[in-house]
Amino acid sequence: MNYFFSDILPKNADPAYKIIRDEPKYSDDKKFIEEMWLHYKQYADAHFLNQAKIDFNQRIWEMYLACSLLFQGLSIDSKDEGPDILIDTGELKIWIEAVAPKPGEGEDAVSKQEFGRLRQVPDEQIKLRYRSAIEEKYNKKYKNYLNSKIVEPEDCYIIAINGSSIPSAKRELEIPRIIRSVLPFGNKSILIDTEFGQPIDQFYQYQDRLLKKSGSSVSTDIFLKPEYSGISAILFSCIDAVNRPNKLGDDFVLLHNPIAARQLPRGFIKLGREYWVDGSELKCTNWDIEAVV
């Protein structure tokens, strides 16, 4: 039988791969991964298992994403060329590109939290990592797929981002950080009646850009810009090999691009929380309880 975990490792093997494989306390997680592999292996590209030894989180994310869609009852396909996953309904092709960005390098990198020391969550640096991943997949990969005719302009294109490799990314606010990376929601503010000391209103500040240490800026309103209309939606998760919900996909955050040239049908992926823009409001369906907020 072709197992996910192997005894043979390269010199540059990902430490997480070896820990999950060898440590008895992770035996349940190892079993879970092997079970996912049984469902996913027919869709994996030729180098998937070797790449998993080097870039463990990325490959776990691809496999988890695919299995979540399969267990929802969707039919998927995957080839060595093109985005990681294709869902072809006969009337619509939906391409999904999976990416698990790293903490980054240089002065805008997201550093690890030091043990025993409190710090403010580096919100803007984390958003910069998400934006970098989106730029990489959209302005390079997607446009190459269009030029090579693998993806057509009338197809849906989803970028599926996993934040588990970025320190502190699991610590979220009311509006998920991935949404605040592509729509101009800033910090939440509360208006106080100073005479009575009571809150009378609350709102989100407008923030359409992030400032890097170099002084250059990165936009956070790309889902309002026509040049990004090729992105149908962003799908987000922070799962890793040992931290995951009981039901695959319950952790998903899916945000529709309100100006997408090819809209993803709402409710097509009934997992986690689905967000969309309705006029000037951000709406959400929680598919775990099927409630609209």
**Is residue 203 scored above 60 in pLDDT?**
no
* Confidence (pLDDT) at 2: 86
**Half-sphere exposure of residue 175: CA atoms within 13 angstroms, side-chain side:** 22
CB atoms within 10 A of CB 190: 9
- What pLDDT digit, counting tens, does each position of 61-120 carry? 999 999 999 999 999 998 888 999 999 999 999 999 999 999 999 989 998 876 666 667
- What pLDDT digit, counting tens, does each position of 23-66 carry? 999 999 999 999 999 999 999 998 999 999 999 999 999 999 99
The pairing of beta strand 281-286 with beta strand 156-162: unpaired
- What pLDDT digit, counting tens, does each position of 220-233 carry? 999 999 999 999 99
Let me know: does 83 contact 97? Beta carbons within 8 Å: yes
What's the CA dihedral at 78, 252, 24, 47 to 10 degrees?
20
Res. 190 pLDDT band, cuts 50 70 90: low
CB atoms within 10 A of CB 230: 21
